[in-house]
Amino acid sequence: MPSIQACLFDLDGVIVDTAQFHYIAWREMAQDLGFDLTREENERLKGISRMESLEIVLSIGGVELSEDEKIHRATVKNTRYLELCMQMTSDDALPGVREFLDELKQNQIPSGLGSASKNAKVILERIDMLHYFDTIVDGTRITKGKPDPQVFLMGASDLKVAPEHCAVFEDAVAGIQSANAAGMFSVGIGEPSVLTEADIVVPGFEGFGLAQLENA
Ligand code: BG6
Ligand code: MG
């Protein structure tokens, strides 16, 4: 593996466990429309933009809505999602992630956020982690969602580091594909059986550090 000069992080499911809140809010919408959304089906929504996620959920339920209704449903889902997120505190960062970000800082390795979420800054502020990131690429900046590499290429460009010297931390299949398409080293956070395309997969950041990354 080439030496790593920058690390790019997905937000939901990597820095903080907001993936469960996305699931709750989409599931409530589905149930309101008369069908259920399973955890397995929810995997397909990870890393995918709000409106694309809505289309996937509606297709699972075989429901058709007008454009106005879609915007309304997405707004209701987001309001509910943010309501759930506001229960979080600075203790809600996933275990080990702060320690790893501290280690990067101590080693002058810049960190960037690469997320499809339009709520990224609000969430990072909520858990008091905005200051860790030298750049934020979020759903308000990108025009092409994961698995397109745009989000991570923008992050690398902001940090002035060549893609081949970047590592990406991702919990979503679409996010790993995005990192791989960008020519970066992809670290899956989760299950090897799900993140089959990642260069390496770890269960989380506990016990993970630069030494593990460099020896991968
Ligand atoms: C991604 C999540 O980080 O952000 C997706 O994995 C979500 O599940 C997407 O749909 C968009 O998020 P938001 O906060 O803009 O609705
Ligand atoms: Mg994610």
Please work out whether the CB of residue 11 comes within 6 Å of at least one atom of ligand 1: yes
Q: What are phi and psi of 46, to 5 degrees?
A: -65, 130
Total Cβ atoms within 10 A of residue 70: 15
Of 188, 184, 154, 148, which Cα lies nearest the Cα of 169?
188
The residue extents of the domains of the chain are 6-17+90-214, 19-85
91 catalytic per annotation: no
Ligand at minimal distance from the CA of 42 is 1
Residue 1 scores a pLDDT above 70: no
Q: Is 114:73 a contact under the CB 8 Å cutoff?
A: no
Per-residue pLDDT of 63-89, as tens digits, reads 999 999 999 999 999 999 999 999 999
Q: Half-sphere exposure (CA, 13 Å, Cβ side) for 155?
A: 36
Amino acid type, 113: L
12 catalytic per annotation: yes
Q: Which residue has the tokens 């956020």?
A: 113
> Each residue of 74-97: b (16+ CB within 10 Å) or e?
eeebeebbeeebeebeeebbbeeb
Q: What is the pLDDT of the chain when averaged over all its residues?
A: 96
Alpha-carbon gap, residue 131 to 46, rounded angstroms:
25
Encoded tokens for 99: 């320690």
* 3-state secondary structure at position 10: coil
Q: Is 1:151 a contact under the CB 8 Å cutoff?
A: no
Residue 216 has a pLDDT of: 85
Q: Which residue has a Cα nearest atom 16 of ligand 1?
A: 50
Amino acid type, 180: N
Q: How confident is the model at residue 2 (pLDDT cuts 50, 70, 90)?
A: low
Per-residue pLDDT of 146-175, as tens digits, reads 999 999 999 999 999 999 999 999 999 999
* Superfamily of domain 19-85, CATH level 4: Putative phosphatase; domain 2 (1.10.150.240)
Per-residue pLDDT of 125-149, as tens digits, reads 999 999 999 999 999 999 999 999 9
CATH topology (fold) of 6-17+90-214: Rossmann fold (3.40.50)
**C-alpha pair distances (Å), 49 with each of 15, 53, 56, 145, 199:** 18, 6, 11, 7, 24
